[in-house]
Amino acid sequence: MPDSGPPPTLDDVARIAKVSTATVSRCVNDPRLVSRPTREKVQAAINALGYTPNFAARSMAAKRTLTIGAIIPTMENAIFARGVQAFQEELHARGYTLLISSSAYRADVEEEQIRTLVARGADGLLLIGHDRDAAIYDYLERQRVPVLAAWSFDLAARIPSIGFDNRRAMQSLAEQVIVAGHRRLAMISASSAQNDRARMRIYGVRDAMAAHGLDPETLELIEVSYDVQEGADAFETLMQRQPRPTIVLCGNDVLAVGALRGAEKLGLRVPQDVSVTGFDDIELAQVVRPGLTTVHVPHREMGRLAAQELVEMIEEKRTGRSQELTATIVNRASVLDQVKG
């Protein structure tokens, strides 16, 4: 059983190594400033005591934490996992630690978490998308915390973003299926309130319809929460509409998998009887059968670039530069080409 008492402090180390606290501090933070023998003495004391710097004290004195916070809508599925993973890896390489929380797609929870992270001294924040109260941006500005948005690109927003054009990406996909002969389109979307990604994807479908002579109002649309089961239910509902849609465009891959399950339950074959598409291209999309035609989002690159940009904003005290990435269509087996057959 090891010793007892409170955790060792800088003072304890200094006393044992017979140097000043300042010297110990230097050993920990920038060993080059300390002579070899002193350094070794101090290191020995640190090891003997099992000393770890107190983070709170350190960040109070240094006014920075080398910590970055990220708030993502959900961890329950893999939609954000890969991007966040890349974000974390890049941050780690630059000496930062990532703290993650998930808001369950709730604006009030997100706001609370933003405040928590800021109060904790996060040097910067990564948020998803741009839909939130102006008051939050005011708060962030007042606190002078660098903030970057991802998964969405919008030059008109109050904070810079590293992302892609959700609207245009979805428009391309919708145009492709229209060109492939589909005329009766349906869509299952995530709830579009407080979610610019979801909303823009809906707009994208309508854009495509308008551009190809279809009435955007004829889009059969159902909004649900992110969830396989809800996607399946929505699919069943859509299949009862008359005339029946020939394709169901889904706001993300998870909903699309739900649609696949709904089709299965109804005994409909995909894509022979009805086509389905997703969005995001998470692993699920290529693992499921039929493989999902979907929009590939460069998750890893987005995460990496976001980390680079945010760190630069912090270290160079400059405003962020937005960057637009390209999302591309990935064709798998879930869409029937009605022209080529």
Partner DNA sequence: TTGTAGGCGTTATCAG
Partner DNA sequence: CTGATAACGCCTACAA
Binding of residue 155 to DNA (CB under 7 A): no
| Cβ–Cβ under 8 Å, residues 84 and 303 | yes
Instruction: Find residue 124's DSSP bridge partners.
Output: 68
Residues 8-27 that bind DNA (CB under 7 A): 9-11, 18-23, 25-26
Which residues fall within 8 angstroms of residue 93, CB to CB, at 6 or more apart? none
- Name which of 209 and 228 has its Cβ closer to a second copy: 228
The whole-angstrom distance between residue 254's C-alpha and the CA centroid of its chain comes to: 15
Minimum CB–partner distance for residue 217 and a second copy (Å): 33
- Is cis: bond before 271, omega within 30 of 0? yes
Distance CA 217, CA 224 (A): 19
Residue 11, contacted partner among a second copy, DNA, none, CB below 5-8 A by kind: DNA
Distance CA 140, CA 47 (A): 40
Residues 29-48 that bind DNA (CB under 7 A): 29, 33-35, 37-39
Half-sphere exposure of 299 (CA within 13 A, CB side): 18
| Cβ–Cβ under 8 Å, residues 107 and 194 | yes
Minimum CB–partner distance for residue 56 and DNA (Å): 7
Residues 60-119 that bind a second copy (CB under 8 A): 60, 65, 67, 75-78, 81-82, 84-85, 88, 97-102, 115-116, 118-119
List the one residue from 16, 45, 51, 276 that touches DNA (CB under 7 A). 51
| Cβ–Cβ under 8 Å, residues 160 and 321 | yes
- Name which of 72 and 313 has its Cβ closer to a second copy: 72
Binding of residue 183 to a second copy (CB under 8 A): no
Residues 214-243 that bind a second copy (CB under 8 A): 228
Binding of residue 21 to a second copy (CB under 8 A): no
Strands (E), 17-144: 67-72, 97-102, 124-128
Q: Give the C-alpha distances (Å, rounded to integers) separating 65 from 23, 56, 125, 175, 314.
A: 21, 9, 12, 47, 11
Residue 31, contacted partner among DNA, a second copy, none, CB below 5-8 A by kind: none
Residue 23, contacted partner among DNA, a second copy, none, CB below 5-8 A by kind: DNA
- Name which of 9 and 218 has its Cβ closer to DNA: 9
Using CB under 8 A as the criterion, which residues of the chain lie in contact with a second copy when the complex forms? 1-3, 6-7, 50, 52-57, 59-60, 65, 67, 75-78, 81-82, 84-85, 88, 97-102, 115-116, 118-121, 138-139, 141-144, 228, 257, 261, 264, 283-284, 287-289
